[in-house]
Chain A
Amino acid sequence: MKIHEFQAKDLLRAAGVPVLVGKVATSPTEAAAAFTALGTPVCAVKAQIHAGGRGKGQVLATGQRGVELAKTAADAERIARGLLEQSLVTIQTGPAGQTVRKVFVESGCAIDRELYCAILVDRAAGSPVLIASTAGGMDIEEVAAKTPEKILSEPFDPDRGLAGWQARLLASKLDLPTAAWRHAETFFRRLCQAFVALDASLLEVNPLVLTKDGTLVALDAKMTFDDNALFRHPDIAALRDAAEEEPAEIRAAAAGLSYVKLEGTIGCLVNGAGLAMSTMDLVKLHGGEPANFLDVGGGADVKQVTEAFRIILSDTNVKAILVNIFGGIMRCTTIATALIEASKTVGFTVPLVVRLEGTEVEEGKKILAESGTAIITANGLTDAAQKVVAASKA
C-alpha cells in the first residue's frame, strides 16, 4: 500500500527522524494561508500523488512543475492553482498522469548537499538493507545503472536494527563532516527502526539533505507498506487514499483478488501470478492485447470468482475473455460453478474462452457442459490463445 509524502513525513516525525514543517492544502487559498502560517522566507509547494519523479514532471495543460519554490503567499497560491485538480505527468505515472488533489506546502532549509537513501527488503541478502549514495536528487536510477559502485548498501537484522558502526561507515563513505556523524548515526538508525516498526516495504528519502548547520533532513519521503502485514497496523491501513487508486483495482483488492488494469481488449481470468503473467505473454504472442492481469489466487470461492468476472466485464474495452485455470487449491468445479453463476447474474456480453486443467477438472467440465452456458472450450494454452484472439477480433 502506498501513502502520500505528507503522511510519510508525519510517520517519520513521530519516529524521531528530522523532517521539515509543512501543511497540506486542497485549494489555492489554503496554500497561500499555509505559506503565511509557516512564516519562512521560502516554501516548497509539492504535488501529492502516489508517484515519484514529481520535480521533473509537469501538468501538460499549464506547464506547471510538480514541485516549485514559492517566495510569497501569492507564489504559493499560483503554484497550487497550476497543480490542483490537474493531471500531473511524471516518468512514473504513465502518459495519462495522475490528478493532483492535495499539495504539501513545506518550509525551506539551507541545503549544503543532496544525498540519497532508501530502505527495502533485499531478496539476495534475505534481510532489509539500507542503501545510500552521494548522488542525491532525481537521477538516482541512472546512477545505479551506470555507476553501481556509488550505491552503498548495509543489510541489517530487523530486530537488532542497524548497528552504530554501520551508520558511521555510511557517514564516512558519504563524506559527511565528522561533526555530523553522531547526528547521522541517530538519523539512519531511527530510519531503520521506523521501517521495521511500521512493516514498510520501501522507505525512500530522495533527496536526503545535509543542511548548512550540519544536520540531516528527509526533504522527501516515499513509503510503501507490506500489504501482508497491514493486519497488525490498522492505523497505517487507515491512511489509504482510495482516490489515488484505480477503482476496479480497489474493488478487486476488497474481494481478495489481484487485478491490474491494462489497455488491451482481452480480459484474462487466471489463477496464480506466474500463470497470469504467462497467459498475458501468450495472448500477446498470438497477436492479442491483454486488457488486464487478474490472479484469482489459490483459494478463491464462487463469490470471489463471480466478482472477478464483474470487474473484467466493467472494462468496456474488453472484447473477449480468456479463463485459464490450472487447479491446485483452486478446484475446477469452483470456477465452473462461478462461471454459471456469473452468466446468470452478470450476463456475458462478449465471447468467453475457457481452458480448465487440474483438480476436479472432469467434474468442472461436466458442470459447464450440462449448464448449456455459451462458452468456447479450449484444450491447452496455444488453442486457448488462438481462440480468444480470434473471438476478440470477430
Chain B
Amino acid sequence: MSILVTRDTRVICQGITGKVGEFHARGCLDYGTRMVGGVTPGKGGESVAGLPVFNTVAEARDATGCNATMIFVPPAFAADAILEAVGAGIELVVAITEGIPVLDMARVLPVVNDSGSRLIGPNCPGVITPAECKIGIMPGYIHTPGSVGVMSRSGTLTYEAVWQLTQLGHGQSTCVGLGGDPLVGSSFIDILELFEADPDTHAILMMGEIGGSAEEEAAEFVKHHVTKPVAAFIAGRTAPPGKRMGHAGAIISGGKGTAEAKLAALADAGIEIAESPADMAAALVRAIEKRRGRR
C-alpha cells in the first residue's frame, strides 16, 4: 500500500507537447507509470511519446479513464489548467509548474476545496510511490520501495532526503512534494493524515523551511493525531533576516515562521530533529529506534 498513487493510477500530462512536459512524460513512462495520454489545446489527435494527445481534459478522461494528471502548462495558463482538471473530476491533480501568480492560486483553491479533487503543488516535484508510479520530475532511481513516508516543501531537498534514506536501507512508501509557493493545494497536515491512515507507512520524514506557519501547524497535528515516529529538518536556520519591506509578514504569523519557532514546536511534539541536512535520514532512524525503545 501507499498513499495517493499506485501502479493502477492512470495518468495524463497537461502540457505534454511542451519540451519540459514531453521530457518528463517520457521519464514517467520509463519509470513504469501508467501514462495514458496528454492534453494540449489545439493539438488533439497528435501523439507524443506514443501517447494520444487530446484538446481537453474532459475528452482525455472519456477516452482513457485517467484519474490523475500532471501539469506542466506555462504559469500564465496553469491556474486555468488546474481548474480544467478539477472540472473534469480528475481525482489527483499534480501541478509541477513554477511561477503561478499567487492571486491565481487564491482563486483556484476554493474551487479545489469544494470539489472531490486533491491538488498537490504547484511549484512542486510531484508524487512518487517507488517502483509503482511516478508523477513528476524527481529522479526515479534514488527511490526504493519501503515504509517511510516523505513530505517536503522543497523539491531538491526531498531528493536529498530520499537518497539518504535509500542509502541507509530505508525504502519509501510514498514521497510527496507539497510545493514551495505561499498557496498550495495540500498541506503537511493533509498528507500526515494519509500517512497515519496508511498501514504500510511506518514512519514519516518531513522537510520544512523558514516562513509561514505550516510546520508549526504540522507539529500540533502530530502531537495529537499521529502515532508513528516522525523526524524533521527545517531549511534556512542560518539564513540572515532579509532586507524586508514592511512588517506585515511578521505580523500575520504572530511570531511564528522563524527556524527557532518551528524547531521548538517540532521538538515539543516529540519529533526527532535533524540538525544538519546531511543528517535527515539518520534522524528518522533515531526516531524509529526511540519508539522501539519505548515499547
Residues of A within 8 A of B (CB): 2, 50-52, 92-94, 118-124, 126-129, 131, 140-141, 144-145, 148, 151, 153, 157-159, 196, 199, 201-202, 204, 206, 222, 224, 226, 228-229, 231-232, 260, 262, 270-275, 277-282, 284-285, 290, 293, 297-299, 326-329, 357-359, 380-382, 385
B106 partner residues in chain A, CB cutoff 8 A: 121, 126-128, 157-158
Contact: A275 with B160, CB < 8 Å? yes
Whole-angstrom distance between the alpha carbons of A358 and B153 in the complex? 18
Whether B252 sits at the interface, judged by CB under 8 Å, is yes
A126-B110, A275-B156, A277-B236 are known; give 18 further A-B pairs, CB within 8 A.
A52-B244, A92-B243, A92-B244, A93-B243, A121-B182, A123-B213, A151-B254, A158-B103, A222-B246, A224-B245, A260-B242, A271-B156, A272-B157, A273-B180, A275-B155, A357-B142, A358-B159, A382-B278
Output the nearest chain B residue to A289 by Cβ-Cβ distance.
Answer: B238
Whether B137 sits at the interface, judged by CB under 8 Å, is yes
Q: Which of B96-121 contact A (CB under 8 A)?
A: 98-104, 106-107, 109-110, 113
Residues of B within 8 A of A (CB): 20, 24, 75-76, 98-104, 106-107, 109-110, 113, 125, 137-139, 142, 152-157, 159-160, 163, 180, 182-183, 207, 209-210, 212-214, 217, 233, 235-240, 242-252, 254-255, 275-278
**Sample of 25 A–B contacts (CB below 8 Å):** A92-B245, A121-B102, A123-B182, A126-B106, A126-B109, A128-B103, A129-B252, A151-B254, A201-B102, A204-B248, A228-B75, A229-B104, A271-B156, A273-B209, A274-B157, A277-B210, A277-B236, A277-B239, A282-B278, A298-B98, A357-B159, A357-B160, A357-B163, A358-B142, A381-B278
Question: Min CB distance, B211 to chain A, in Å?
Answer: 8
A231 partner residues in chain B, CB cutoff 8 A: 75-76
Please tell me which one of the listed residues B142, B209, B254 contacts residue A277 in the complex, with CB atoms under 8 A apart.
B209
Known contacts A129-B252, A159-B107: does B217 contact A281 (CB below 8 Å)? no
Question: Min CB distance, B100 to chain A, in Å?
Answer: 6
Contact: A328 with B139, CB < 8 Å? yes
Contact: B243 with A275, CB < 8 Å? no
Whole-angstrom distance between the alpha carbons of A199 and B100 in the complex? 12
Question: Min CB distance, B148 to chain A, in Å?
Answer: 18
Contact: A148 with B101, CB < 8 Å? no
Please tell me which one of the listed residues A224, A260, A274, A282 contacts residue B155 in the complex, with CB atoms under 8 A apart.
A274
Contact: B238 with A281, CB < 8 Å? yes
A326 partner residues in chain B, CB cutoff 8 A: 156, 159-160, 163
Contact: B139 with A140, CB < 8 Å? no
Question: Min CB distance, A255 to chain B, in Å?
Answer: 15
Output the nearest chain B residue to A295 by Cβ-Cβ distance.
Answer: B156
B209 partner residues in chain A, CB cutoff 8 A: 273-274, 277
A270 partner residues in chain B, CB cutoff 8 A: 156
A273 partner residues in chain B, CB cutoff 8 A: 154, 180, 209
Question: Min CB distance, B114 to chain A, in Å?
Answer: 12
Contact: A277 with B252, CB < 8 Å? no
Output the nearest chain A residue to B101 by Cβ-Cβ distance.
Answer: A229
Q: Is the interface of A mostly helix, strand, loop or mixed?
A: mixed
Whole-angstrom distance between the alpha carbons of A94 and B239 in the complex? 14
A93 partner residues in chain B, CB cutoff 8 A: 243
Contact: A272 with B238, CB < 8 Å? no
Whole-angstrom distance between the alpha carbons of A357 and B143 in the complex? 13
A199 partner residues in chain B, CB cutoff 8 A: 101, 103
B153 partner residues in chain A, CB cutoff 8 A: 274
B20 partner residues in chain A, CB cutoff 8 A: 299, 329
Contact: B157 with A359, CB < 8 Å? no
Whole-angstrom distance between the alpha carbons of A206 and B251 in the complex? 13
Output the nearest chain A residue to B75 by Cβ-Cβ distance.
Answer: A228
Contact: A274 with B156, CB < 8 Å? yes
Whole-angstrom distance between the alpha carbons of A51 and B246 in the complex? 7
Output the nearest chain A residue to B181 by Cβ-Cβ distance.
Answer: A228
Output the nearest chain A residue to B109 by Cβ-Cβ distance.
Answer: A126
Output the nearest chain A residue to B158 by Cβ-Cβ distance.
Answer: A274
Question: Min CB distance, A66 to chain B, in Å?
Answer: 14
B210 partner residues in chain A, CB cutoff 8 A: 277
Whole-angstrom distance between the alpha carbons of A131 and B236 in the complex? 27
Contact: A202 with B246, CB < 8 Å? yes
A196 partner residues in chain B, CB cutoff 8 A: 103
Please tell me which one of the listed residues A119, A281, A385 contacts residue B236 in the complex, with CB atoms under 8 A apart.
A281
Whole-angstrom distance between the alpha carbons of A124 and B261 in the complex? 17
Output the nearest chain A residue to B104 by Cβ-Cβ distance.
Answer: A229
A277 partner residues in chain B, CB cutoff 8 A: 209-210, 235-236, 239
Output the nearest chain B residue to A146 by Cβ-Cβ distance.
Answer: B255
A357 partner residues in chain B, CB cutoff 8 A: 142, 159-160, 163
